[in-house]
Structure 1
Amino acid sequence: MTSVRNAGDSTPRTTGRTPARPAAAAVADALRDATYEILPFKSAEEKVLAHVPRDVALTVTTTEAKGLGPTLDLAVRLTGQGYRAAPHIAARLVRDRAHLADLVDRLADAGVDRLFVIGGDAAEPAGEFPDALSLLEALRERDHHFTSLGIGGYPEGHGTIGDELIEKALADKAPHADHVITQLCFDAATTLRWARAVHGRGVGLPIRVGIPGAISRQKLIRVSAGLGLGQSARFLKKQQNLLWRFFLPGGYSPDKLIERLTPAFGAADNRLHGFHVFTFNDLDSTEAWRQEWLARLS
């Protein structure tokens, strides 16, 4: 099944191609259990309430420019609206253990029991947490209340950390977490090689594969480049002649990427578990796309 859009039409429509069984069942399970990533912009809460079912779990990003405040505020509000919302906590933005205690206590009081921990992109740490591992260790010391705790994976590597160090960090963080969410990657083969290597090194956490939602070509390139979400996005920006690999005439569709990844779900040589959709807050088109898949596969 491939989605297409007419110019000016924000709703994807399918051309009728459906993956063969049993791949179709795996696609349906993965999309039914998909999680959405939200940017903490002013209109985000309104868009979530208008377009996202409450059984879709959410994560809320954080950036050095905005700080932790908008991320926590949105996660708290969405939790109050009945969503399972996990704020991103960037370790380099946390000053010390007292600051961490305040953050954790606020989330506990608001009923936020999910967390996603990253190192963050700040050039210098604000205090005693230079990376995600140090913050995760501090959380464990205080016997935190979180029932779901995620960490990041990097199928294409990290822009400022060598491959050997980033994979060692993943192994060190794994005992403190219960799942991995990968950075955005457009190449299924790269993601699969990485997932198999991670599994081979003994990291047994389930892996949610980061994919872009059903958003416009221009917005995907602009926001991906601005947020630094992987070398693939930057490569596409430079190599316009290769856009046809990932973009349809009316807009981007993640269908082909999903079809190439899903047959590996459940295989013995990896821990691919589901999809984590980078929505870039285009929630109406992304949710319409997901529902079209589910309707056809049902």
Structure 2
Amino acid sequence: MERLRAHVPAPAAVTVTCLPQHGPRKAVEVAVGLAGAGYTVIPHLAARSVTDRAELARYVAQCGDAGITDVFVVGGDAAEPAGPYTWSGALMEDIADLSGGTLRMGIAVYPEGHPGTSDAELARTLRAKQELASWCVTQLCFSPATLRAYPSRLREAGIGLPVWAGVPGPVRMSRLVRLAGRIGVGQSLGFLRRSVGGAGAGSVVRQLLSSASYDPAPLVAALDGAGYAGVHLYSFNDLAELVSSGLTRSAG
């Protein structure tokens, strides 16, 4: 928390990721602490990591007591669900019921699709979840053309939620490649590699991936007028670089 205060002072809006090794309990605890320090906080809740409705009720109550108004609901990466919530939609139904509809929910959307899910099935589940959701954020995507076209594609699919563009901050390329591969955006990584070097530029690409930092400014600039509600910056906890980039002042 001290590092966050040093680089991004309250009342900035920040999210708290539900890490597999800690689960939603830790995410909510950290979020409550940040809310008490004056931040606008959005904790992530992973459906497959919640053991039962009683546990979920505690998280909803903690958020309400701390003045937290929004949560970001994902399915989660656990191979086996810890309880009855096998997908995010089921968790959202219980959050809506337990909070009396007062806790707003955000969901993830996927400009380049989702591994193992057809585009038609993805659109169907998004339409089902949007009845309970208030906003959505895109998965990481490095292609300006893909991101620019995505709000229109969502509308055509019947998704009318406000959508925020998920953009990585100025993270070291080698780390970004590892993280992005881990969270399943390999297709977008292909675009990223192609964009930093053409045919025969393998040594240049290898050098860039090992030493340089990704510059998100051109991607953010390309999204102007595309229909996004704003930009959500994935900092990967590299707060100093993010603040020095100036993006935190323009990503509203």
The question of a shared fold, defined as TM-score above 0.5 by the shorter chain, is answered with yes
> How far off its partner does 1:95 sit?
1.6
Q: Secondary structure at the match of 2:244?
A: helix
Residue 4 of structure 1 is matched in structure 2 by: none
Q: Secondary structure at the match of 1:176?
A: coil
Residue 88 of structure 2 is matched in structure 1 by: 132
1:92 to 1:231, Cα distance in 2 relative to 1, 3 A: same
Residue 254 of structure 1 is matched in structure 2 by: 216
Residue 62 of structure 2 is matched in structure 1 by: 106
Q: Is the 8 A contact 2:44 2:73 kept in 1?
A: yes
Alignment partner of 1:56 out of 2, 5, 12:
12
> How far off its partner does 1:276 sit?
0.3
Tell me the alpha carbon deviations over residues 88-123 of structure 1, each in whole angstroms, 9 at most, x when there is no partner. Answer: 000111122112112211222233222111111111
| Gap regions ≥5 residues in structure 2 | 199-204
> Superposition pairs for residues 234-245 of structure 1, below 5 Å?
234-235=189-190, 239=193, 242-244=195-197
Partners of 1:203 and 1:292 lie apart in 2 by 28
Q: Is the 8 A contact 2:95 2:103 kept in 1?
A: no
Alignment partner of 1:83 out of 39, 43, 63:
39
Q: TM-score, normalised by structure 2?
A: 0.86
> How far off its partner does 1:170 sit?
1.0
Q: Is the 8 A contact 2:60 2:99 kept in 1?
A: no
Moved segments of 4+, more than 6 Å: 245-249
| Relative contact order higher in (CA < 8 Å, ≥ 6 apart) | 1
Partners of 2:156 and 2:65 lie apart in 1 by 40
Q: How many residues align?
A: 241
Tell me the alpha carbon deviations over residues 239-277 of structure 1, each in whole angstroms, 9 at most, x when there is no partner. Answer: 5x6435997984211111112111323xxxxxx111000
Q: Which is further off, 51-60 or 148-157? A: 51-60
Q: Is the 8 A contact 2:60 2:98 kept in 1?
A: no
Q: Is the 8 A contact 2:162 2:229 kept in 1?
A: yes
Residue 166 of structure 2 is matched in structure 1 by: 210
Q: Which is further off, 278-287 or 45-54? A: 45-54
The Cα RMSD (Å) is 2.5
Q: TM-score, normalised by structure 1?
A: 0.73
> How far off its partner does 1:218 sit?
2.1
> How far off its partner does 1:292 sit?
8.9
Residue 231 of structure 1 is matched in structure 2 by: 186
> How far off its partner does 1:202 sit?
2.6
Partners of 1:117 and 1:292 lie apart in 2 by 23
Alignment partner of 1:170 out of 121, 126, 134:
126
Residue 198 of structure 1 is matched in structure 2 by: 154
1:72 to 1:142, Cα distance in 2 relative to 1, 3 A: closer
Residue 182 of structure 1 is matched in structure 2 by: 138
Q: Is the 8 A contact 1:215 1:282 kept in 2?
A: yes
1:62 to 1:233, Cα distance in 2 relative to 1, 3 A: farther
1:188 to 1:71, Cα distance in 2 relative to 1, 3 A: same
Q: Is the 8 A contact 2:96 2:103 kept in 1?
A: no
> How far off its partner does 1:234 sit?
4.2
Identity, % of aligned positions? 34
1:200 to 1:133, Cα distance in 2 relative to 1, 3 A: same
Alignment partner of 2:108 out of 152, 165, 170:
152
> How far off its partner does 1:136 sit?
0.9
1:201 to 1:233, Cα distance in 2 relative to 1, 3 A: closer
What residue identity is the alignment partner of 1:243?
V
